[in-house]
Amino acid sequence: MQEQPTSGRPYKSRFGGGYISGVQYLAENMCARLARRDRVELHERFWKSARWEKEFRLQTVHAAKLLKDYSMEAIIAALQTTRGKQVYSLGLKSVLVPIIKDEQEKLDRKKAASEVKVQVETPPPAAEPPRPNFVGKQTLLGKLREI
C-alpha cells in the first residue's frame, strides 16, 4: 500500500488501497457504479472478495486498453457526462469511445488555446524611459499663495 502519491500511482483509492494507478482507479470506479446500480455496498479492499475479483480484473484490462489510446482526463470526463453515466463497463466501446473522442478533442482544443495564450503573454514589454515629472506654468492662484 502506497502512503504517498507517486508518478505511477497518483490516485487515492476510496476503498483502502492507498494510492493506486490510473488503470486501477478506473476499474475501482466502474465497480463502484455497478455496486450502486445493484444496491450493494463495497467494503474495504473489495477486489479481494470472490464476488468482485473477476469484475475488477476485467475492468482493469478494459481500462488499460483505453489508456493506450486516450488520456486519463478524457476518459474521466467522458464517464462524467450524461451519456457516460449510463455506462457500467469500460468494455462497452461502441458507446464509450465516441464520448471519449469528443472529450479528448475538447481537452486538446483547451490545451492549444492555453498554449497560444501563454505565447502571447511571453514577450516582456519594452522598457520605456521614465516619464519626466510634470511641471506646469504657475497660475495666478499659485502666485498669490506664494505671497
Average pLDDT of the residues in 3-24:
84
How high is the pLDDT of residue 76? 92
Cα radius of gyration rounded to whole Å, the chain = 29
Residues whose CB is less than 8 angstroms from the CB of residue 12 and which lie 6 or more positions away in sequence, other chains included: 5, 18, 19, 20
Helices within the chain (DSSP H only) = 22-37, 50-69, 72-79, 93-121, 140-146
DSSP, collapsed to helix, strand or coil, labels residue 135 as coil
Average pLDDT of the residues in 71-98:
91
User: Model-level pTM?
Assistant: 0.72
Average pLDDT of the residues in 95-106:
93
* Mean pLDDT score across all residues of the chain: 86
Residue 1 pLDDT > 60 = no
Question: What backbone torsions phi and psi does residue 142 show, to the nearest 5 degrees?
Answer: -65, -40
Mean pLDDT is highest, among 37-46, 53-62, 110-119, for 53-62
Q: At 113, is the pLDDT very low, low, confident or very high (cuts 50, 70, 90)?
A: confident
Residue 98 pLDDT > 90 = yes
Q: At 54, is the pLDDT very low, low, confident or very high (cuts 50, 70, 90)?
A: very high
CA distance 101 to 99: 5
Residue 135 pLDDT > 80 = no
Rounded to the nearest angstrom, the gap between the alpha carbon of residue 28 and the centroid of all alpha carbons in its chain is 17
End-to-end CA distance of the chain: 86
